[in-house]
Structure 1
Amino acid sequence: MTNAVDCVDLSYQFATHLAVDHVNLAIAPGEMYGLLGPNGAGKTTTIRMLTTLLKPFTGTVRVFGIDATAHPMRVRRAIGYVPQALSADANLTGVENVELFARLFDVPRRFRRQRVSEALDAMGLTEAAGRLAGTYSGGMIRRLELAQSLISAPRLLVLDEPTVGLDPIARGVVWEYIARLRSEHQMTVLMTTHYMDEADSYCDRISLMHRGKIRVTGTPATLRGGLGEDATLDDVFRHYTGDTLDKTAEEGGIRDVRRARRTARRLG
């Protein structure tokens, strides 16, 4: 069986900083997989390589057997991506934001209008579709970003901090949508989060990443059990990251969002 994701000996370096250090990662089709770690651990850089936004310094990334470096457009057609930095443009309407991603992910013109409508409807945003995204609440913005990520009918959904900054009610709504979509479309989901309760509740397996390396991989229950009967996933996180903060921030952020928009305009 071909894995949904295979990262082999994956590395990336910003100037003198080795952000990702020979990472190996395998995710099975249909799996909900959590990539956890402190800020600067290398999670987002790993995801950017997987989603073809960065070219690996060493190693390979394959998505459903497709080499992400050799065939980036084929990989983009297989994935939906919700980045950590807000990707919705406040100066565009909801429908215009989703149409932008339809172009970016090369959805054929003859299918775009229908796909945009279906994605907005799935996220409960049909009534708000004509409003500027700048008028949306935080929860609505995240649902809009999910609609953007679903426009290509992805086999793999990549979520980088999908509920960051949301209140508990909005977080619950977003996860209900994700769980429903995963069930309806048999999607594989790769997520990052700093909320350990989310990882514990929703992930089949997790990997803890620190200073560019994968420190441990397993089911939440197995990792908790390895530290004792009463251990929590927070305890596991602290154990494998040394209970320290890495002050080296990852590069990119808003620059990647702007780059994505420029690419979409070029694609027409």
Structure 2
Amino acid sequence: MKKMSNSLKRWQASRNAELGSPTSWLGLIGLFWLAPGLNSVGNAAGATVVLGKGPALLGNLLWEEGRILWQPAAGPELVLETDLHGAPTIVDFENLSFFVVDREGQLAVRIRDRDWAATTTFGGLEYFPHDPAWRIEAEWQSIDPPLQMEVPNVSGDLKAVEVSRCAVFAVGGQAVTLLPMAVGPDEAFFVFRDRTSGKETYGAGRFLKVPLHGDERITLDFNFAYNPPCAFTPFATCPLPPPENWLPFAVPVGEKKWVKPD
């Protein structure tokens, strides 16, 4: 049996703790898209954001001049930060919380039940056995001129992505090029499918974040591949892997498909 690294053990424990927490993706109970102008929030059937409990009108969300203003029926107004540049402003009501997400300039409200764990069993995540063979050293090549791509998400919307780098490696003598969906100063983010997708792993693919240490090489450790949020909730807007990242072989490491307990 191959020994698992301490860093992988810590990462798996962190994933389980994150998904079992009150702020887990499993606690989301709604996603409502906003329109410019006034958007009502409450328990009325005609509300833009339907809470499912509480007063008919809890308040309004005013979207104008590039900002969101929360106007509660009782209490002071509050400018809400979206998740575009970090953690969004949270508005609490009884056991519910809601916050605003920004997706390519389109705004939506997500609602979370902070007490979800009292009625739902998480059960934990399952992983393939650790295999050091899937820690792969790849060439980190420049793409000049950069590729201009439109990447779809699970909602069918398209996001414009500029790709100026690619990871090039081989598996079983088969050359592979993997395109990152985002590259920051210290990390690259990949979305991929493989021959386990829809079988042992989530059908829409998996995510992989990779630290960057130089300009010529990159280490892809697929033991850290994990499920996107849309594997746990219908209220997420996950990117899908582009066709270039559909790997023609199985990657039998990392996180397995999560099956909701009965």
Task: Name the structure with the higher helix share.
Answer: 1
TM-score of the superposition, structure 1-length normalised? 0.24
- Answer with 1 or 2: which has the greater Rg: 2
TM-score of the superposition, structure 2-length normalised? 0.24
Higher relative contact order, structure no. (Cα contacts within 8 Å, ≥ 6 residues apart):
1
